[in-house]
Amino acid sequence: MEMNVSNTDEQVVARKKGGLNPAIILPILYLVAVAIYLFVLGNPSNFAANPKVTGASVALADVESKELHPEGFMGIIYMGGPVVHILILFMLTVVVFSIERFLVLGKAAGNGNLDNFVMKVRSLLNQNKIDEAMEECDRQKGSVGNVVKEGLTTYKALAKDNTLNKEQKMIALNKSIEEATTLEMPMLEKNMNILSTLGTVATLIALLGTVIGMIKAFHALGSGGGTPDAAALSIGISEALINTALGIGTSAIAIIFYNFFTSKIDGLTYKIDEISMSIQQSFAEFN
């Protein structure tokens, strides 16, 4: 019994370690986001020539925002202000973890067509060909294959067990499948909360940038002794709109990917439940 517990613990640890670790990836992405903001978006080539601008980034020059005249899209985004680098971080995070989830869920689906796998296993179960069904699981692999194989392994062990009655065997079989499913779910759902959170937080951070931009705009409107600073006013409004656009875009992408991956996970879970029901029905019929 102790050996079984140990093996189960090792499986749980292995699944929890699967995928990217946010504690490591997020600081790296933050540094990348800052570098993009300062040296890519803030590159002097994205702005009209200014004798005060020297070096690799306009951020390192002592130049006011109203003295900068962007000549390209990247320069315009840079004018969104310091909140932009946070929104870039969010966008990079969404892209990186979406790619990671896509690869993980693709691996979880296993080799070959999943629907064909389900149909083949159910057909073999109807014929009580357990060994052949387990061979199909070995070929399919993935989360569905892992759960089904665990259920079939328990199926074979219970079929030879003469110490339990049929009802107890059915309970043990169902418990085995549920435990195997529980072991697979952390790997499937890992980092999904990041996409879900960014779907909301990106909009709020963008709203913060929008408010800051409007504060600057109204400050420019009220200063200057009756003659508004048109340049500062336009910079403030531009900053507000840029942050709004980046935030809404990031939020929309995060929500789309979150719903897409949630649908994928639900599909895998449904396939597991479908075969699990077939395993239990087959056991009840042949044992």
- Say which DSSP state 161 is in: -
| Residues 172/144, Cβ–Cβ less than 8 Å | no
Q: State residue 224's pLDDT score.
A: 59
- 42 and 171 in a single domain? The answer is no
- Residue 47: strand pairing partners: 70
Task: Retrieve residue 5's tokens.
Answer: 């517990």
Predicted pLDDT at 225: 58
Question: Residue ranges of the chain with pLDDT lower than 70?
Answer: 1-18, 224-226, 228
Whether residue 275 is found in the same domain as residue 182: yes
> Is residue 168 located within the same domain as residue 31?
no
Q: Is residue 5 part of a domain?
A: no
Q: Would you tell me how many other CB atoms lie within 10 Å of the CB of residue 155?
A: 25
Are 269 and 145 contacting, i.e. CB atoms less than 8 angstroms apart?
A: no
Same domain, 66 and 123: no
- Same domain membership, residue 173 and residue 72: no
Q: Which of 215, 178, 199 is nearest to 249 (CA)?
A: 199
- Same domain membership, residue 133 and residue 69: no
Distance, in Å, from the CA atom of 254 to the CA atom of 259, rounded to the nearest integer, reads 9
Q: What is the number of domains present in the chain? A: 2
In a domain, 60, yes or no: yes
Please check whether residue 139 lies inside any domain of the structure: yes
35 and 176 share a domain? no
Tens digits of per-residue pLDDT, 138-178?
998 888 999 999 999 999 999 888 888 888 999 999 999 99
What single-letter amino acid sits at 49?
A
- Identify the bridge partners of residue 70 per DSSP, sorted by sequence position: 47
Task: Give the pLDDT confidence score for residue 56 in this predicted structure.
Answer: 83
Predicted local distance difference test score (pLDDT) of residue 99:
96
User: In the numeric block, which tokens belong to residue 39?
Assistant: 């040296």
Rg (CA), the chain: 28
Return d(Cα 268, Cα 118) in angstroms, integer: 11
- 183 plus 281 within the same structural domain: yes
Range of the domain at 27: 21-79
Q: Could you give the CA distance from residue 112 to residue 28 in angstroms, rounded to a whole number?
A: 35
